Amino acid sequence: MIDAKRRTLLKGSLGVSAIGVAVSAGLLTPGTVLANWPKAAFAATETDAALNELLGSNATENSDQIKLEAPDIAENGAQLPVVVDTDLEGVQSISIIASANNSPLIASFDLGTNAVPFVSTRIKMAESADIIAVVKTDSGLFSKTKSVKVTIGGCGG
């Protein structure tokens, strides 16, 4: 227990000093550090809380207009391909969630005006769980869920 706290403290102070050094070295202005990065959403340990922090709501409507591609069974949870594609109108962002990860929110992609609502990336999954694609449109939040079985988790040591 004491050891765990010490590690948290060490980790915390390391993080702060690294950013501090970068700021003082003029590599970054304080304003650009984490300017848009939704810290609370990424720190959330539950899917609903992450969505509330990120998008202001967790009320998503399941939509067959979202295509979510991921393997049914993943031998390697550290490199799990995910493709999200949708023909919904007015898409503002696409977010990817792995429901059983320590921090379920993996990534969120804000789309510019000319972007096609499509993203393909690779994620880590700690264990078998649902992958959820959440698409924010002008008319609300839509989602698609796919269950993925993970043989070897990709988050821990």
What is the binding site for another protein (CB under 8 A)?
7, 10-11, 14-15, 18-19, 21-23, 27-28, 32-34, 36-38, 42, 78-81, 98, 101-103, 105-116, 118-124, 154-157
- Are 153 and 77 in contact by the 8 Å Cβ rule? The answer is yes
> Long-range contacts: 51-56, Cβ < 8 Å, 24+?
51/95, 51/97, 51/105, 51/134, 51/141, 54/95, 54/105, 54/108, 55/93, 55/95, 55/134, 55/136, 55/141
The Cα 67–Cα 87 span in angstroms is 9
Nearer to another protein, 1 or 37 (CB): 37
Give phi and psi for 100, each to the nearest 5: -100, 0
Nearer to another protein, 107 or 152 (CB): 107
Least Å from the CB of residue 116 to another protein = 4
Least Å from the CB of residue 150 to another protein = 13
Least Å from the CB of residue 140 to another protein = 20
Least Å from the CB of residue 20 to another protein = 9
Q: Identify residue 50 by its one-letter amino acid code.
A: A
Nearer to another protein, 18 or 59 (CB): 18
For residue 51 the two structure tokens come to: 């969505």
Nearer to another protein, 106 or 135 (CB): 106
